Chain A
Amino acid sequence: MTVTDHSQATADKAHSHGIIPDASRADRPTSFDVDAFPVPSGREENWRFSAVRDLKPLFADEPVDGHLEWTVPDLPAGVTLAQVPADDARARTVRAPGDRASALAVKHSGGAMALTVAANTVVDEPITIDLRGTGADVRGHLLVEIGRSAEATVVIRRTGTATYSEYVSVDLADNAGLNLVLLQQWEDDAVHAGEVVARLGRDSRLRGSVVTLGGKVVRLNTSAAFAGEGASVDLFGLYFADAGQHQEHQLFVDHAVPKCTSRVTYKGALAGATARTVWIGDVLIRAAAEGTDTYELNRNLVLTDGARADSVPNLEIETGEIEGAGHASATGRFDEEQMFYLRSRGISEEQARKLVVRGFFADLIHEIGVPAVEESLLREIELELEHVEEELEHEAAETAGE
C-alpha cells in the first residue's frame, strides 16, 4: 500500500494553515483558445497526479461526431432545456475553460445544451437527466442557469461508456438556490474529463454533490467563484475506486468578495491493487474577501493493499479579516480499534468492514438530499463492498501462497 498524504494533517488534528503552492491559484490561465493550453505531459501542477496517458484522446484538437443519449423528464413550468448555438453558448458560459480538455470540449461540442430555470421558479421535485454513453468519442458543453430567486435540484447521471470531455457552466443569479448532483456511474472502460465552473450571485446557495463510482478514468475539476456577497457553497464528493480505476477530483473555491461561506467535504474508499484516487482542494481567499468562512475536508479509506490515495489541500489567504479558514485531510486503512470493537461483540470481520465503510459514507450520502439517489447509492456501495470482499479473499489467498 502506498499512502501519500501531502497535507500531513489528520481529521482529528485539523491544520488551519495551508501548503502554499508555487504559484497562486488565481494565476492559472483560462481561455476559449485551445492553443492557450499545451498538451499536458503530466508534469504540470494541475496534471501531475492525472492519468494523462488514458486522457490523451481528450487532448486532440479534432472534431468528433459522437454524442450521449439524453433521457430528459417532462420539465415543469419555468424550466427549459434547449440547444444553444456555439457563439451564444460561449457568451453565456460563466468563464472560459481552465484546461485543454475542457477548452476542446467547448470547441468541438457544436454548441451547448442549456438547462434554464426562470427567475422565481421553485421546483420541488428533482430534475433527473440521464446521459448514456454508447462507446463513442463525445465532447459536451452544458449550461445550467438558475434565475434570480429560483430554486431547483438537478441530477445528472452518466452511465454506459464513452470517451468524454465536458464543460459545465453553472450560473446562479442573485438569491438563487441549486442542488446539483453529478453521478458518474459509467461502465468500467469509460474515460471522462470534466470541468464544472460555478458563478454564485449575491445571496445564492449552491450545493454540489459529485459521486464517482464507475469509469476507468474520471477527472472532475470543480470551481466555484463568488460574484456577490452573502453566498454559500457546499461541495460534497463521494468516490469508490476499484482495481484499475483512476478517480481524480480537483476543487477550487474562489472567495473574491466578502461574507461568503464554503464547505468542501470529500470522502473516498479504495479497494484493489492499482486503485487510485486524487483529491486536490484549493481555496483562495482574496484580499477583498473579508468575513470569509471556509473549511475543506478530505478523507480516504484504503481497504486493501496496493491502492493509492493522494490528498492535497491548499489554502491561500490574502486577508486576515476572516471568520474562519481550515482544512483537514486524512488517509488511512481500516481503523484497527474500530474493527476490534465490532468483532469483540461477535460481528464477523467481513460484516465489521461493511459496517465501517457504510458508516464512513453515511453522513455524506445523507447530504445529497435526493432520496431516490441516496437509496440507489446505498445499493451501489453494497455492490462495491462485495467486490472488496472478493479482493480481500484474493489478497489472503496470495499471502497464503507465498
Chain B
Amino acid sequence: MTTAPAHTLEIRNLHVTVETPEGTKEILKGVDLTIRSGETHAIMGPNGSGKSTLAYSIAGHPKYTITQGEVFLDGEDVLEMSIDERAKAGLFLAMQYPVEVPGVSVANFLRTAKTALDGEAPKLRTWVKDVKTSMENLRMDPAFGERGVNEGFSGGEKKRHEILQMELLQPKIAILDETDSGLDVDALRIVSEGVNRAKENTGLGVMLITHYTRILNYIKPDYVHVFVNGRVAEEGGPELAERLEAEGYDRYLASA
C-alpha cells in the first residue's frame, strides 16, 4: 500500500429539501458522516430513503437545496463551491443513472474533463496509453471512445464508463451510487476491480451506496451505515451488512 496523502470528507447535520408540486419536501434530515482516504463506507437503505439525494447534494446538483448543515473536504467548504469546483477539489460521483450527452464523444469528454481538472492538457502519449489501459481493464471496446457519451450504452456499459472516468480523473473521494445495480457477476467483478485499483493506487476514499451485499464480497467495507428516512439510523462494521441482508430494514422502519 502506498502512503497516499490523507483526505477527509466531513458531512455534518446535512438537511436537504426538494421542490415538489405539493411544495417543499425535506429529504435529508440531518446526515452525519466522515469519510477518509482509503476507507470504504457502505451506505445501505430502502428505496426512497434519500441515498441518491445525499450523493447529488454533495456533488452540487441544482435540484437540491441545503437548508442546514455543512460539508467539508480537507477543511474546505464544499457547499460554497460550484459543481465543477467540487470535482476540482477531488470529489467524484458515479451516478445511479448516468446521463447521455449526444454528439460528444467519450474520448473528447474524457480529455476535456482531465484538462479541466489538471488546468492543462494531459501529455498526449501518456494520456492515450492511460485511456487504453483503463478501457482494457474494464473490458470496454476501444470503439467506445468514438461514441457519444453514454449514448445508447447498456446499463452495464454506463456503469463501467463511470468507473473508467473515476480511474482516469483520480478523485480523492468517490461516491458510487448503486454502481453495482443491474450488473451481472462478471461485470460486477470488473467494476469492483476498478474500484480496488483506485483504492490501491491513489488511496481513494469511497462512499458505496448499494442495495446488495454481493458487491461487498469484492469491495470490502470498513464501515456500514444504515440509511433510513433521510438520516443514518445505525452504523457498524461489515457484519452489519450481513444482518441487513438477512433481516431487511423493518426494524429501522418500525422505529422511524
| Chain A residues with a Cβ under 8 A of chain B | 335-338, 340-349, 351-352, 355-356, 358-363
Contact = CB atoms under 8 A, between A and B. Distances in A.
Contacts of A352: 84
Given A341-B98, A343-B83, A347-B116, A362 B103 contact: yes
B22 to A, nearest CB: 21
A269 to B, nearest CB: 13
Q: Is chain B's interface secondary structure helix, strand, loop, or mixed overall?
A: mixed
Contacts of B88: 346
B246 interface: no
Contacts of B82: 343, 349
B83 A340 contact: yes
B104 A356 contact: yes
B152 to A, nearest CB: 13
Given A355-B109, A358-B104, A345 B99 contact: no
Contacts of B92: 344
B113 interface: yes
B231 to A, nearest CB: 24
B83 A351 contact: no
B68 interface: no
B165 A345 contact: yes
A360 B113 contact: no
Interface in B136-171: 148-149, 165, 169
Nearest to B94: A344
A360 B151 CA distance: 13
B84 A349 contact: yes
Contacts of A347: 84, 112-113, 116
A344 B86 contact: yes
A351 B115 CA distance: 11
Given A346-B88, A347-B116, A360-B103, 13 more contacts: A338-B100, A340-B60, A340-B62, A342-B113, A343-B82, A344-B59, A344-B86, A344-B92, A346-B84, A346-B87, A349-B83, A355-B104, A358-B103
A348 B84 contact: yes
A337 B83 contact: no
In this complex, the member of B63, B92, B103, B109 whose beta carbon has the largest number of chain A beta carbons within 10 angstroms is B103
Contacts of A340: 59-62, 83, 99
B209 to A, nearest CB: 16
B59 A346 contact: no
Contacts of A337: 99
Nearest to A357: B103
Interface in B87-103: 87-88, 92-93, 95, 98-103
A341 B99 contact: yes
Given A345-B87, A346-B117, A356 B101 contact: yes
B113 A346 contact: yes
Contact of A344 (B93, B102, B104, B148): B93
Contacts of B113: 342, 345-347
Interface string B57-83: 001111100000000000000000011
Contacts of B112: 347, 351, 355
A356 B108 CA distance: 12
13 contacts: A335-B99, A337-B99, A342-B109, A343-B84, A344-B92, A346-B113, A346-B117, A349-B83, A358-B103, A359-B148, A360-B103, A361-B103, A362-B104
A348 B116 contact: yes
Contacts of A348: 84, 116
